[in-house]
Amino acid sequence: MFLKGKTALVTGSTSGIGLAYAKAFAIEGASVMINGFGDADAIEQARAGLAQTSGAAALYDAADMTKPDQIAAMVERCHAELGGPDIVVNNAGIQFVSPVTDFPDDKWDAIIAINLTSAFHAMKAAIPHMRAKKWGRIISTASAHSLVASPNKSAYVAAKHGLAGLTKTVALETATDGITVNCISPGYVWTPLVENQIPDTMKARNLSRDQVINDVLLAAQPTKQFVTPEQVAAFALFLCRDEAAAITGANLSADGGWTAA
Q: What are phi and psi of 130, to 5 degrees?
A: -65, -40
Residue closest to 33 by CA, chosen among 52, 45, 19: 19
- Catalogue the active-site residues: 156
- CA–CA separation, 135 and 244 (whole Å): 12
Beta strands 179-186; 136-141: pairing state: parallel
Alpha carbon of residue 236 to chain centroid: 10
Beta bridge partners, 251, equal 183
Q: State the sign of the Cα–Cα–Cα–Cα dihedral 83, 51, 10, 5.
A: positive
- CA–CA separation, 71 and 118 (whole Å): 7
Residue 142 · residue 249 · CB < 8 Å: no
Q: How many helices (H) does the chain have, and how many strands (E)?
A: 10, 7
Report the residue count for the chain: 261
